[in-house]
């Protein structure tokens, strides 16, 4: 039993002082007044730091110089997780971009085994494509894009442990299939889509609950056709993930988006590639060389290829670029993604019964200490 003391603790959306967080094993046992800490508890003095929930990243393509698609194995997941843990990510979905079904099968198997083996932070898998619209493919390889048939559905529904998030183009999949996926427990997000406002709304009615990297690779908000962006911003129930790096979307555009609906329906993602937490200045993707250049990852044609971003940087950017209050910026990186994944009763908050995945931060948002499931991580 350990008591984390002398910190400003983020509880119920506000920072509070004179609280202690009591950790027993991998869980938070209690949040209580510092004066009420049991005598037998080990006391950990956080020297006035901010204590916040660890970040949850629903879109992690790579990190530590490896890409999940290239080697969909437990070792790759472990390496990616370790790279991102340095930046405050205590829960994540290893993410596959459009690829062949055998690669997706291998990725699902790897995630299954990673969860079984207790690889720190693994919450499930994000399968982004290949069931997307080639007109909005972005960096995804056109020859990997395919229609969603019975074999594809079987693969998407095959993970037995953890969450499965699927990004697809609703206009090409259809409402009946979306209903089938949602009924199987799949979290369905619209992305890489050219769908009309009407088509996207029908997909929301069928079970789409999220939008992957809002504004990027989707039909835009127009004067006569609101598109996928319009549907995402008008519906107050659906979640929207944001890449806040100052590159993918203008901060002005993101500020406007945040005014359209409750902020608790926005979550931060890194969309990270191998360069995050790595040493190389580029990597190969489907035979193309992707280079890191002034905070951007681009191919020879200048097409963006994911992001060179971490979750702590995304939280800082939301706070400084978008003027989001600090407590809300932290929630966008922790509480909101947990709720989107339907894991809000397990992670993403500092409360009794939650997994003890926590960060101690300085006032400039430097990470001082971090814990995943109660274990401190260097």
pTM: 0.97
Tell whether 213 is in a known binding site. Answer: yes
Cα–Cα distance for residue pair 85/61, rounded to 1 Å = 14
Same-domain status, 111 and 139: yes
Same-domain status, 151 and 255: yes
| 71-to-103, 104, 164, 304 alpha-carbon distances in Å | 9, 11, 19, 22
3-state secondary structure of 103: helix
* Partners of 165 in the β-ladder: 126, 187
The catalytic site residues sit at 271
Q: Got the DSSP string for 150-183?
A: HHHHHHHT---SSEEEEEE-HHHH-HHHHHHHHH
Tell whether 305 is in a known binding site. Answer: yes
Same-domain status, 267 and 171: yes
Q: Do the domain assignments include residue 345?
A: no
Tell whether 118 is in a known binding site. Answer: no
Q: What is the pLDDT of residue 378?
A: 84
Whether residue 139 contacts residue 303, with contact meaning beta carbons closer than 8 Å, is answered with: yes
Low-confidence ranges of the chain (pLDDT < 70): none
Same-domain status, 32 and 45: yes
Instruction: Tell me how crowded residue 344 is: count the other CB atoms within 10 A of its CB.
Output: 15
Q: Whose CA is closest to 168, among 152, 146, 191, 197?
A: 191
Q: Do the domain assignments include residue 68?
A: yes
Tell whether 41 is in a known binding site. Answer: no
pLDDT 10s digits, 90-137: 999 999 999 999 999 999 999 999 999 999 999 999 999 999 999 999
The residues, ordered by sequence, that sit 6+ positions from 23 with a Cβ below 8 Å of its Cβ are 1, 2, 3, 4, 29, 356, 371, 374
Same-domain status, 36 and 153: no
Tell whether 306 is in a known binding site. Answer: yes
Same-domain status, 112 and 73: yes
Cα–Cα distance for residue pair 312/367, rounded to 1 Å = 8
Q: What is the pLDDT of residue 238?
A: 98
CATH of residue 174's domain is: 3.20.20.140
Same-domain status, 228 and 365: no
Q: Whose CA is closest to 321, among 270, 262, 273, 253?
A: 253
Return the residue matching tokens 């191919």: 299
Cα–Cα distance for residue pair 40/32, rounded to 1 Å = 15
Joined tokens for residue 4:
């984390």
Same-domain status, 222 and 326: yes
Helix (H) or strand (E) holding 84: helix 74-85
Joined tokens for residue 280:
């190389």
The residues, ordered by sequence, that sit 6+ positions from 184 with a Cβ below 8 Å of its Cβ are 157
Residue 119: give the domain boundaries.
55-340
Whether residue 240 contacts residue 256, with contact meaning beta carbons closer than 8 Å, is answered with: no
Tell whether 217 is in a known binding site. Answer: yes
Q: What is the pLDDT of residue 294?
A: 86
Q: Got the DSSP string for 55-78?
A: EEEEEE-EETTEETTT--SHHHHH
Tell whether 336 is in a known binding site. Answer: no
Tell whether 115 is in a known binding site. Answer: no
Whether residue 123 contacts residue 92, with contact meaning beta carbons closer than 8 Å, is answered with: yes
Gyration radius from the chain CA atoms: 20
Q: What is the pLDDT of residue 309?
A: 97
Q: How many domains are there within the chain?
A: 2
């Amino acid at each position: 039993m350990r008591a984390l003391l002398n910190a400003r603790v983020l509880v119920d959306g506000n920072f509070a002082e004179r609280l202690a967080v009591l950790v027993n094993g991998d869980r938070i046992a209690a949040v209580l007044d510092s004066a009420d800490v049991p005598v037998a508890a080990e006391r950990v003095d956080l020297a006035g730091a901010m204590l916040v929930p660890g970040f949850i990243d629903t879109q992690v393509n790579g990190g530590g110089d490896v890409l999940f698609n290239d080697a969909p194995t437990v070792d790759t997941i472990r390496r990616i997780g370790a790279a991102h843990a340095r930046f405050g990510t205590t829960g994540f979905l290893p993410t596959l971009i459009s690829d062949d079904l055998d690669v997706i099968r291998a990725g699902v198997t790897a995630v299954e085994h990673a969860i079984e083996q207790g690889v720190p932070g693994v919450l499930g898998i994000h399968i982004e494509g290949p069931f997307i619209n080639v007109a909005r493919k972005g960096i995804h390889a056109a020859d990997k894009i395919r229609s969603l048939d019975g074999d594809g559905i079987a693969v998407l529904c095959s993970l037995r442990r953890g969450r499965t998030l699927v990004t697809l183009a609703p206009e090409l999949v259809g409402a009946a299939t979306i209903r089938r996926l949602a009924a199987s427990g799949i979290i369905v997000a619209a992305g890489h889509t050219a769908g009309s406002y009407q088509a996207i709304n029908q997909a929301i009615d069928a079970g789409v609950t999220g939008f992957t990297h809002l504004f990027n690779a989707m039909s835009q908000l127009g004067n006569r056709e609101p598109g996928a962006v319009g549907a995402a911003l008008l519906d107050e129930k659906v979640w929207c993930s944001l890449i806040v790096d100052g590159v993918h979307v203008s901060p002005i555009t993101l500020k406007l988006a945040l005014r359209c609906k409750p902020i608790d329906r926005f979550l931060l993602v890194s969309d990270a590639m191998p360069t995050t937490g790595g040493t190389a200045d580029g990597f190969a993707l489907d035979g193309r060389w992707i280079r890191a250049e002034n905070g951007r990852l681009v191919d020879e044609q200048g097409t963006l290829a994911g992001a060179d971003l971490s979750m702590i940087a995304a939280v800082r950017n939301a706070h400084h670029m978008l003027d989001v209050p600090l407590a809300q910026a932290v929630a966008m990186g922790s509480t909101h993604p947990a709720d989107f994944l339907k894991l809000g009763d397990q992670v993403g908050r500092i409360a009794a019964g939650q997994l003890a995945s926590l960060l101690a931060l300085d006032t400039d948002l430097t990470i001082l200490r971090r814990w995943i499931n109660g274990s401190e991580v260097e």
